[in-house]
Amino acid sequence: MKLSHLVFGMGVLAGSTTLSSVANAQSGGNMSTGAAVGGSVQVGAGTPPAALPASRSDNDPAPQVAAPVVPAGGIVSQAGIGGSTAYGRPGVVELGGSLGLNISGDNRQLTIAPSVGWFFTDNLQISGIVGFNYAHTTTTVAGQSVSSSASSLNVLAEPSYHLPLTRSLFAFLGVGLGLAYNSRDGAGFALAPRLGMNIMIGRSGILSPALQFVYSTTNLNVPAPGSASTSTLQAVNTSFGLNVGYTIML
């Protein structure tokens, strides 16, 4: 064997040994995939289970939530100008009602609605409203005027939001839901949204002009054609108009 061949072979062997040592040092003596770890073979990347903490349940606490605050007893007395509690604050109660008149051609409708409202949190109110409606209609049949009248009753629960514009002026939006009853068709469902203003008057008075739409349904019994029995139909009544309310804070 030539001397040059012997020197070349020894150089290759030394280079292979050096590369193997460097690779073993960088991997900590173990290969990341497929290496033997304590008599077993690790598959994929990660940490051996023996080096991890034991599995346990975790119960992270929920953040604190805000709780509505109302005065002791739930009702504030002497609210308004001169007192420490303004309109729209929790515990304020207002008593009063509204009056509405709708005139359209030969139709006349009068509405009287007493109400009571209570602010259960800032600017949010729940009200109970009882609306008495009387409608008078005149129609022409065969050249003769025929008059008819009907009365109805709406019992509503109305949540409403009152947005302060100034210290004495609020805009409000409410949606009344409840029962409708009229003398002709019986009981049904009523939906009555309204949009208006609250204007502070004097120490504790509130003038509330508002536009209101009322949608109500009742069951109407009509004779079946060619039969002595009756069939039930759903009658829908709608009205739209302006009403003006006046209430006082207790």
pLDDT band at 239 (very low <50, low <70, confident <90, very high): confident
pLDDT in tens, 13-36: 444 444 444 444 444 444 444 455
Buried b (16+ CB within 10 A) or exposed e, 233-243: eebebebebeb
pLDDT in tens, 119-174: 999 999 999 999 998 888 776 666 677 777 888 889 999 999 999 999 999 999 99
Q: Report how far residue 46's alpha carbon sits from residue 59's, in angstroms, rounded to the nearest whole number.
A: 25
Residue 42 has pLDDT above 90, yes or no: no
Q: List Cβ neighbours of 54 (8 Å cut-off, separation of 6 or more).
A: none
Tokens of 180: 């409708």
pLDDT in tens, 82-116: 888 999 999 999 999 999 887 766 778 888 999 99
The rounded radius of gyration (Å) of the Cα atoms in the chain is 41
pLDDT at 118: 96
pLDDT at 162: 98
Q: Where are the domains of the chain?
A: 93-249
Which residue is it, tokens 């069939």? 231
Q: Report how far residue 237's alpha carbon sits from residue 102's, in angstroms, rounded to the nearest whole number.
A: 15
Q: List Cβ neighbours of 83 (8 Å cut-off, separation of 6 or more).
A: none
CATH fold for the domain made of 93-249? Porin (2.40.160)
**108 burial type by CB count under 10 A (0-12 exposed, 13-18 middle, 19+ buried):** middle
pLDDT in tens, 172-217: 999 999 998 887 777 889 999 999 999 999 999 999 999 998 888 8
Q: Which amino acid appears at position 193 of this protein?
A: P
pLDDT at 20: 45
Q: Which amino acid appears at position 124 of this protein?
A: L
